[in-house]
Structure 1
Protein backbone atom coordinates (compact mmCIF):
# COMPACT_ATOMS: atom_id res chain seq x y z
CA UNK A 1 0.00 0.00 0.00
CA UNK A 2 1.32 3.43 -0.93
CA UNK A 3 0.17 6.53 0.91
CA UNK A 4 0.24 9.80 -1.02
CA UNK A 5 -1.57 13.09 -0.69
CA UNK A 6 -3.19 14.83 2.23
CA UNK A 7 -4.25 12.84 5.29
CA UNK A 8 -5.91 14.80 8.04
CA UNK A 9 -6.88 13.87 11.60
CA UNK A 10 -10.62 13.87 12.13
CA UNK A 11 -11.79 15.67 15.27
CA UNK A 12 -14.47 13.69 17.09
CA UNK A 13 -17.66 15.74 17.61
CA UNK A 14 -19.63 15.05 20.78
CA UNK A 15 -23.12 15.99 21.98
CA UNK A 16 -23.63 17.72 25.33
CA UNK A 17 -24.08 14.29 26.96
CA UNK A 18 -20.68 13.14 25.57
CA UNK A 19 -22.18 10.77 23.00
CA UNK A 20 -20.92 10.83 19.44
CA UNK A 21 -22.59 13.56 17.37
CA UNK A 22 -23.27 11.57 14.20
CA UNK A 23 -24.69 14.52 12.25
CA UNK A 24 -21.65 16.69 12.93
CA UNK A 25 -19.35 13.79 12.10
CA UNK A 26 -21.08 13.27 8.76
CA UNK A 27 -20.87 16.99 7.92
CA UNK A 28 -17.17 17.05 8.83
CA UNK A 29 -16.34 13.97 6.75
CA UNK A 30 -18.21 15.38 3.73
CA UNK A 31 -16.52 18.76 4.14
CA UNK A 32 -13.04 17.25 4.24
CA UNK A 33 -13.67 14.97 1.26
CA UNK A 34 -15.11 17.89 -0.72
CA UNK A 35 -12.01 19.91 0.22
CA UNK A 36 -9.85 17.28 -1.47
CA UNK A 37 -8.21 15.33 1.33
CA UNK A 38 -7.02 11.87 0.33
CA UNK A 39 -7.54 10.17 3.66
CA UNK A 40 -8.84 10.64 7.19
CA UNK A 41 -7.22 9.60 10.45
CA UNK A 42 -10.12 8.43 12.59
CA UNK A 43 -9.99 8.24 16.40
CA UNK A 44 -6.40 9.45 16.56
CA UNK A 45 -4.92 11.76 19.16
CA UNK A 46 -6.97 14.70 17.90
CA UNK A 47 -10.05 12.48 17.88
CA UNK A 48 -10.19 12.17 21.67
CA UNK A 49 -9.55 8.43 21.47
CA UNK A 50 -8.44 8.37 25.09
CA UNK A 51 -11.90 9.51 26.23
CA UNK A 52 -13.74 6.87 24.17
CA UNK A 53 -14.25 3.20 24.91
CA UNK A 54 -13.01 0.58 22.44
CA UNK A 55 -16.64 -0.08 21.47
CA UNK A 56 -17.18 3.63 20.71
CA UNK A 57 -13.99 3.82 18.64
CA UNK A 58 -14.88 0.74 16.61
CA UNK A 59 -18.39 2.11 16.03
CA UNK A 60 -16.99 5.48 14.89
CA UNK A 61 -14.55 3.82 12.50
CA UNK A 62 -17.34 1.74 10.98
CA UNK A 63 -19.54 4.80 10.63
CA UNK A 64 -16.74 6.72 8.91
CA UNK A 65 -16.17 3.79 6.57
CA UNK A 66 -19.85 3.91 5.58
CA UNK A 67 -19.70 7.69 5.07
CA UNK A 68 -16.53 7.53 2.97
CA UNK A 69 -17.68 4.55 0.88
CA UNK A 70 -15.33 4.10 -2.06
CA UNK A 71 -14.19 7.71 -2.27
Structure 2
Protein backbone atom coordinates (compact mmCIF):
# COMPACT_ATOMS: atom_id res chain seq x y z
CA UNK A 1 0.00 0.00 0.00
CA UNK A 2 1.33 3.42 -0.91
CA UNK A 3 0.37 6.49 1.09
CA UNK A 4 0.84 9.99 -0.31
CA UNK A 5 1.75 12.57 2.34
CA UNK A 6 1.77 16.32 2.08
CA UNK A 7 5.21 17.91 2.16
CA UNK A 8 4.53 19.30 5.66
CA UNK A 9 3.43 15.94 7.06
CA UNK A 10 6.37 14.18 5.43
CA UNK A 11 8.78 16.71 6.97
CA UNK A 12 7.22 16.26 10.44
CA UNK A 13 7.32 12.48 10.13
CA UNK A 14 10.96 12.56 9.05
CA UNK A 15 11.93 14.96 11.86
CA UNK A 16 10.19 12.93 14.57
CA UNK A 17 11.62 9.67 13.25
CA UNK A 18 15.12 11.16 13.27
CA UNK A 19 14.63 12.40 16.86
CA UNK A 20 13.52 8.91 17.91
CA UNK A 21 16.32 7.20 16.04
CA UNK A 22 14.08 5.18 13.72
CA UNK A 23 13.27 5.41 10.05
CA UNK A 24 10.20 7.27 8.83
CA UNK A 25 8.51 4.09 7.57
CA UNK A 26 8.73 2.49 11.01
CA UNK A 27 7.26 5.61 12.61
CA UNK A 28 4.44 5.74 10.04
CA UNK A 29 3.67 2.06 10.64
CA UNK A 30 3.62 2.63 14.42
CA UNK A 31 1.33 5.65 14.04
CA UNK A 32 -1.09 3.72 11.84
CA UNK A 33 -1.09 0.76 14.25
CA UNK A 34 -1.87 3.10 17.16
CA UNK A 35 -4.68 4.85 15.29
CA UNK A 36 -6.27 1.61 14.11
CA UNK A 37 -5.92 0.09 17.59
CA UNK A 38 -7.45 3.14 19.24
CA UNK A 39 -10.36 3.28 16.79
CA UNK A 40 -11.04 -0.42 17.33
CA UNK A 41 -11.00 0.03 21.13
CA UNK A 42 -13.20 3.15 20.92
CA UNK A 43 -15.88 1.45 18.82
CA UNK A 44 -15.98 -1.51 21.25
CA UNK A 45 -16.33 0.84 24.23
CA UNK A 46 -19.17 2.76 22.56
CA UNK A 47 -20.92 -0.51 21.77
CA UNK A 48 -20.57 -1.59 25.42
CA UNK A 49 -22.02 1.73 26.55
CA UNK A 50 -24.95 1.47 24.17
CA UNK A 51 -25.65 -2.06 25.40
CA UNK A 52 -25.70 -0.73 28.98
CA UNK A 53 -28.23 1.92 27.97
CA UNK A 54 -30.41 -0.71 26.31
CA UNK A 55 -30.34 -2.74 29.54
CA UNK A 56 -31.37 0.35 31.50
CA UNK A 57 -28.02 0.67 33.27
CA UNK A 58 -27.94 4.45 33.39
CA UNK A 59 -27.53 7.18 35.98
CA UNK A 60 -29.65 10.27 36.43
CA UNK A 61 -28.13 13.73 36.20
CA UNK A 62 -28.33 13.99 39.99
CA UNK A 63 -26.57 10.65 40.48
CA UNK A 64 -23.73 11.69 38.19
CA UNK A 65 -23.38 14.98 40.07
CA UNK A 66 -23.32 13.19 43.42
CA UNK A 67 -20.66 10.72 42.24
CA UNK A 68 -18.54 13.52 40.84
CA UNK A 69 -18.84 15.55 44.03
CA UNK A 70 -17.85 12.49 46.07
CA UNK A 71 -14.81 11.82 43.90
CA UNK A 72 -13.69 15.43 44.14
CA UNK A 73 -13.93 15.43 47.93
CA UNK A 74 -12.17 12.05 48.24
CA UNK A 75 -9.11 13.11 46.22
CA UNK A 76 -6.11 14.51 48.06
CA UNK A 77 -5.14 18.05 47.06
CA UNK A 78 -2.66 18.34 44.19
CA UNK A 79 0.67 19.90 44.99
By the TM > 0.5 criterion, same fold?
Answer: no
Comparing both structures, which one devotes a greater share of its residues to strand? 1
* Higher RCO (CA-CA < 8 Å; seq separation 6+): 1
Comparing both structures, which one devotes a greater share of its residues to helix? 2
Taking structure 2 as the reference length, the TM-score comes to: 0.26
Taking structure 1 as the reference length, the TM-score comes to: 0.29
Q: Which is higher, the Rg of structure 1 or of structure 2?
A: 2
